[in-house]
Amino acid sequence: MVFGRDRVEYKTPDQVRLMRRAGLVVADTLAAVRSAARPGVTTADLDAVAAKAIDDAGAAPSFLGYHGFTGVICTSVNDEVIHGIPGSRVLAAGDLVSIDCGAIVEGWHGDSALSFVLGPDGALDHTLPDDDLVAAGADLADVALVRTTETAMWAGIATLASAKRLNAVGAAVETAVEMAGEFNGIDYGIVEDYVGHGIGSAMHQPPDVHNYKTAGSGPRLRSGMCLAIEPMITRGESETRVLEDDWTVVTVDGSRAAHWEHSTAIMEDGIIVLTAVDGGAERLGVFGVQPVSLD
């Protein structure tokens, strides 16, 4: 592990392998939480599922106790963008749910998030045909938001494979959101108050990873960088506010929001998505990128 003059932590291959282990714990935990989500379940119930999954894997939660946060995961519903605290809220069919999860293995962190629309029998697969989703009671505008946010995240991640400077990620995310908005006939909002980040021996590290175009080119991308790419997109305006619990971030206009995130490592010969089971192979392949192996 080496720190550059910009305080970016550059990981060795062995350290990235430990982060991959943490990332796979996060992936498995998110899958378990998504599977457990259904109408009538509370966000605290989902938190308990996450706690057990992380403990069973021999890992530790990144979020619990972080600046006093009381959950193992963040559970954000409908107009809640991020940092929702698990509790007594009962989920209902039609809710748009975002789950953010972090785990630690031997001092190294993984961090990932996903969003889904809740159907009468559980989380809906947003890759299904629209007719099937409508039959399950989904609002297609919510489904489009989930798809748009996920696609924008992957566009940003894929950019890491060829870009020289970090701000190319934000430009790729914004372009993807704009294109989806034109296709869907929706003027999406890109949240600017919160951004992605470096990750490694701490959950949040330099550099900030913007989800929008910014002036300048940003830090140079180098092997050993590990970055969490996490766009937060709304169906309305981009402005947010924090509730009285000092954690939950909601949209000012009440519009619904989606949040997707993956932790990604830049290696000498390419990139790998540490929190994706397949390393990002399926979704990066759309962009002509093949993730590297850590073997």
Asked whether 247 and 69 are in contact (CB, 8 A), the reply is yes
- Tell me which amino acid residue 278 is: D
Model pLDDT, residue 187 = 97
Pairwise CA distance, residues 113 & 278, whole Å = 16
Model pLDDT, residue 1 = 52
- Helices 13-36 and 43-56, interaxial angle, to 10°? 140
3-state SS, residue 32? helix
Per-residue pLDDT of the chain (295 residues; tens, 9 = 90+): 555 556 899 999 999 999 999 999 999 999 999 999 999 999 999 999 999 999 999 999 999 999 999 999 999 999 999 999 999 999 999 999 999 999 999 999 999 999 999 999 999 999 999 999 999 999 999 999 999 999 999 999 999 999 999 999 999 999 999 999 999 999 999 999 999 999 999 999 999 999 999 988 889 999 999 999 999 999 999 999 999 999 999 999 999 999 999 999 999 999 999 999 999 999 999 999 999 999 8
Pairwise CA distance, residues 54 & 101, whole Å = 10
Tokens 């039959």 belong to 135
Residue 38, burial from CB neighbour count under 10 angstroms (0-12, 13-18, 19+): middle
Question: pTM score, two decimals?
Answer: 0.96
Tokens found for residue 171: 């430009």
